[in-house]
């Protein structure tokens, strides 16, 4: 059995009781960064063994882990924050487990883009999750596609690229298109700012920006 367990994106109290219990009961926890996960374990007094599982080793060790699961080992998969597999490692081992007919259970829990789109005030009955845009090749093509969508779309962005991203979005979507920058969700300095793209770009150009960022853009 493989349990996919979301972990807090900010406030440690966002862990569910079930998630804590499962992390204590499994035989092994696969962690994106064991140093980050150890802090969570210390907070909840979890002593389960940890093993690194991240973008640089997942191709090499996934089959070995599947064989351990087939032999009866129960594992949990966590990322540094949020739900594994959403712009984080996880897809490969889940697919491999499905192919090997190993049961996978994904617990509900923290993720950044759902609070961002709900708090934005933009239509959220339908939305498109894009994740991180390509840095260079294919970026303009994706922006053109996203600009034409008839429903809200969501991007993940790094602090040092945010202003550039907002200017590019304004160029493709129009300066008056309403958007939202949700920053540091569930943390002490959480900020959700909804405004036209041109105003958001100007604001963060002047203020500067830090932290984890979700950009929500309203429909065409």
Residues 165 and 155: their CA atoms lie apart, in Å, by: 10
Specify the pLDDT at position 33: 96
For the full predicted model, state whether its pTM sits above 0.75.
Answer: yes
Residues 194 and 55: their CA atoms lie apart, in Å, by: 33
pLDDT of 208 above 90: no
**pLDDT tens digit string along 115-169?**
999 999 999 999 999 999 998 899 999 999 999 999 999 999 999 999 999 999 9
Specify the pLDDT at position 20: 98
| Ranges assigned E (strand) in 61-116 | 75-78, 104-106
**pLDDT tens digit string along 18-48?**
999 999 999 999 999 999 999 999 999 999 9
CATH 3.40.1010.10 occupies which residues in the chain? 2-106
Q: What is the DSSP letter of 134?
A: P
Question: Which one of 3.40.50.1980, 2.60.40.2580, 3.30.360.10, 3.40.1010.10 gives the CATH number of domain 2-106?
Answer: 3.40.1010.10
State both tokens at 85.
């597999």
Answer for the pair 159, 213: CB distance below 8 angstroms, yes or no.
yes
State both tokens at 205.
């150009």
CATH class in words for 113-217: alpha beta
pLDDT of 185 above 90: yes
State both tokens at 130.
């894009």
Specify the pLDDT at position 164: 96
**pLDDT tens digit string along 57-107?**
999 999 999 999 999 999 999 999 999 998 888 999 999 999 999 999 999
Closest CA to 218 of 161, 171, 163, 180: 180
3-state SS, residue 1: coil
Share of the chain above pLDDT 70, in %: 100
Specify the pLDDT at position 136: 87
Secondary structure (DSSP) of 35-62: HHHHHHHHHHT----EEE--TTTHHHHH
CATH 3.30.950.10 occupies which residues in the chain? 113-217
> 3-state DSSP helix/strand/coil percent for the chain, to nearest 5?
40, 20, 40
């Amino acid at each position: 059995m493989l349990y996919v367990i979301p972990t807090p994106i900010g406030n440690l109290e966002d862990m569910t009781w079930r998630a804590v219990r499962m992390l204590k009961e499994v035989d092994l926890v696969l962690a994106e960064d064991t140093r980050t996960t150890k802090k969570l374990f210390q907070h909840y007094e979890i002593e389960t063994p940890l093993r690194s599982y991240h973008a640089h080793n997942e191709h090499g060790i996934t089959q070995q882990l599947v064989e351990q699961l087939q032999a009866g080992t129960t594992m949990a998969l966590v990322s540094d924050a949020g739900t594994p597999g959403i712009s984080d490692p996880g897809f490969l081992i889940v697919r491999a487990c499905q192919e090997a007919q190993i049961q996978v259970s994904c617990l509900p829990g923290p993720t950044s883009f759902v609070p961002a789109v709900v708090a934005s005030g933009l239509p959220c009955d339908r939305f498109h999750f894009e994740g991180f845009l390509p840095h260079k090749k294919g970026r303009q093509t994706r922006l053109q596609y996203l600009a034409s969508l008839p429903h809200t779309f969501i991007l993940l962005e790094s602090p040092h690229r945010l202003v550039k991203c907002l200017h590019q979005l304004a160029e493709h979507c129009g300066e008056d298109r309403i958007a939202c920058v949700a920053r540091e969700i569930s943390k002490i300095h959480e900020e959700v700012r909804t405004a036209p793209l041109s105003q958001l770009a100007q604001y963060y150009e002047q203020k500067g920006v830090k932290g984890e960022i979700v950009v929500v853009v309203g429909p065409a």
